[in-house]
Chains A and B, each alone.
Chain A
Amino acid sequence: MTEDVKKLYDERVNRFVTTANLNEPDRVPIVGSSGSGAIHYAGLNFADLLENYELEEKLYMAEAVQQNPYIDAFGGSGINHQMKIATALGSKTFFISPNGINVQHHETSSMKVEEYDEFIADPMKFLADKIAVRKVTGFRDGTDEEVYANLASLFDKAAEIRRGSYANKLIMETLGLPSLTGGAGSGLGGSITHPTDVFFDFIRGFKETMTDMRRRPEMVDAAIAALSPFYERNFPTKYVGPFPWMNDTHHIATFLTGPLFERYYWPFYKKSVEACHNAGIKLISVFEGRWEQHFDLLDELPKGSMIAQLEKFEQVVNFKERYAGQFAIYGGMTGLLRLNTLEDSIDRIKKTLDVAAPGGGYIFSSGGISAPGDGTPERQEAVTIWVYENAKY
């Protein structure tokens, strides 16, 4: 990083840190983003990037260069390379959408109800011997030596991915654009995974998990308790603050009623926020879907420890009313680039800024373009420039 780039980087980081500490910086910080839509608008498809790290880096670097004059951080670069390995070994978990740019996954419920005790006794052995074998034909068919070769190939390629996908690092070093959570290859920041989401996403599946929470709650308690120590290893254990931060995403939380959330979700979540807070960093919590029913519990978290990434304007209003001066807000702009006209998009931004920006604690992002129907690069650029020029303190 050159001296000029480092100066720019420091200014940008300071803008985020000031905001997250619930003070007013010079202007509202802007996170530029580049979802899968960038693949479409570059005339590419997902399969092209899967084969070529350089192409991936070029694509996201071009996006970052274009947005660079107006933004303070860049997010959203990087694709799911894991899919290639899994598919090659006969897994049907991941598939490319008909639009050719998004990757989705089939829900799998690989653990049977009668296997709870075995899972609880040793979750990682169960994952290897049961879940992996059921999902991957390359772990089922052939001799032990052939299966071992498949396994070694899976792990080797996963390591290659970690080495190969460095778009965020490149963007940070050449443009001075930080990634809020460090980014691949930076060795900083990272993410926290909730064990209840793991259980829901990969072990028992949506329907079965929701049923089990009511019919056999003690078994679900025990399963989550058995998984938790492995995911607590992602907690920071020493002081690393104040930047970059960590993030988490929440999958099952939006579907849980208050009592279920308090029982199965809140304890680990609270612990993760406190661990980040004790390490001096913020945790960006991506509150997918409806979270209003859980907002009251956030009173138990340390002031300024968490940044709520929200989806809708109404959530921003609700959250700011409750937690102004307590927690920062990020986003709230889902659907922004899909609105009929640019004026409609700017009106929504104005309304949001009027509510969320006073006193500091608001980070803007247009939400990016995940699919062609989400908006155009022109609209994204126009709203970004508008915020850059107008959202000043």
Chain B
Amino acid sequence: MRERDIYKLVERYVEEYFPDLEGEARQQRIEALCASFMNV
């Protein structure tokens, strides 16, 4: 199975859609989006 760096794409998404987020808030947003993968 092909490996993908989806985590990096999530980071890119947060940078594009939530440019104002920084530090812990930015990290928590990334992690919340990753956690949402459980529901797909």
B1-34 CB mask vs A (1 if < 8 Å, else 0) is 1111111011011000100000000001011011
A9 to B: closest C-beta gap in Å: 31
- Alpha-carbon distance between A241 and B8 when the two chains are bound, in angstroms: 39
| Chain A residues, CB < 8 A from B40 | 82, 85-86, 89, 91, 93, 132, 135-136, 154
| Chain A residues, CB < 8 A from B38 | 127, 131, 198, 201-203
> Which 10 pairs across A and B sit closest by C-beta, in order of nearness?
A132-B37, A124-B34, A86-B40, A128-B6, A128-B7, A202-B38, A124-B31, A128-B34, A125-B7, A91-B40
Do B4 and A127 touch across chains, with their CB atoms under 8 A apart?
no
| Chain B residues, CB < 8 A from A85 | 40
Instruction: Beyond A86-B39, A124-B30, A139-B4, list 18 extra A-B contacts (CB 8 Å).
Output: A82-B39, A85-B40, A86-B40, A89-B40, A91-B40, A124-B31, A124-B34, A128-B6, A128-B37, A129-B5, A133-B6, A135-B37, A147-B6, A151-B6, A152-B17, A155-B13, A201-B38, A203-B38
In the complex, what residue of chain B is closest to A140 when comparing beta carbons?
A: B2
| Chain B residues, CB < 8 A from A133 | 1-4, 6
The residue that A129 contacts in the complex, of B3, B28, B30, B36, with Cβ under 8 A, is B3
- Alpha-carbon distance between A149 and B12 when the two chains are bound, in angstroms: 11
- Alpha-carbon distance between A139 and B3 when the two chains are bound, in angstroms: 10
The residue that B9 contacts in the complex, of A82, A91, A151, A233, with Cβ under 8 A, is A151
In the complex, what residue of chain B is closest to A148 when comparing beta carbons?
A: B9
A78 to B: closest C-beta gap in Å: 14
In the complex, what residue of chain A is closest to B34 when comparing beta carbons?
A: A124
- Alpha-carbon distance between A201 and B3 when the two chains are bound, in angstroms: 23
Is A144 an interface position by the 8 A CB rule? yes
Do A230 and B31 touch across chains, with their CB atoms under 8 A apart?
yes
Chain A contacts with B in 124-173, Cβ cutoff 8 A? 124-125, 127-129, 131-136, 139-140, 144, 147-148, 151-152, 154-155, 158
B interface majority secondary structure: helix
In the complex, what residue of chain B is closest to A151 when comparing beta carbons?
A: B9
Do B9 and A127 touch across chains, with their CB atoms under 8 A apart?
no
| Chain A residues, CB < 8 A from B39 | 82, 86
In the complex, what residue of chain B is closest to A125 when comparing beta carbons?
A: B7
| Chain A residues, CB < 8 A from B7 | 124-125, 128-129
Known: A82-B40, A151-B10. A127 touches B1 (CB 8 A): no
B21 to A: closest C-beta gap in Å: 14
B16 to A: closest C-beta gap in Å: 8
B13 to A: closest C-beta gap in Å: 6
- Alpha-carbon distance between A323 and B2 when the two chains are bound, in angstroms: 54
A82 to B: closest C-beta gap in Å: 5
A316-352 CB mask vs B (1 if < 8 Å, else 0) is 0000000000000000000000000000000000000
| Chain B residues, CB < 8 A from A139 | 4, 6
Do B12 and A140 touch across chains, with their CB atoms under 8 A apart?
no
Known: A133-B6, A134-B1, A151-B13. A127 touches B34 (CB 8 A): yes
Known: A85-B40, A135-B40, A148-B9. A129 touches B31 (CB 8 A): no
A211-245 CB mask vs B (1 if < 8 Å, else 0) is 00000000000000000001001000000000000
| Chain A residues, CB < 8 A from B33 | 155
- Alpha-carbon distance between A209 and B33 when the two chains are bound, in angstroms: 24
| Chain B residues, CB < 8 A from A127 | 34-35, 37-38
| Chain A residues, CB < 8 A from B12 | 148
| Chain B residues, CB < 8 A from A134 | 1
| Chain A residues, CB < 8 A from B6 | 128-129, 132-133, 139, 147, 151
- Alpha-carbon distance between A212 and B7 when the two chains are bound, in angstroms: 27
The residue that A140 contacts in the complex, of B4, B9, B13, B34, with Cβ under 8 A, is B4
- Alpha-carbon distance between A155 and B11 when the two chains are bound, in angstroms: 13
Could you list some 28 contacts between A and B, CB below 8 A?
A82-B40, A86-B40, A89-B40, A93-B40, A124-B7, A124-B30, A124-B31, A124-B34, A124-B35, A125-B34, A128-B7, A131-B37, A133-B6, A136-B40, A140-B2, A144-B9, A147-B6, A147-B9, A148-B12, A151-B9, A151-B10, A151-B13, A152-B13, A198-B38, A202-B38, A203-B38, A230-B31, A230-B35
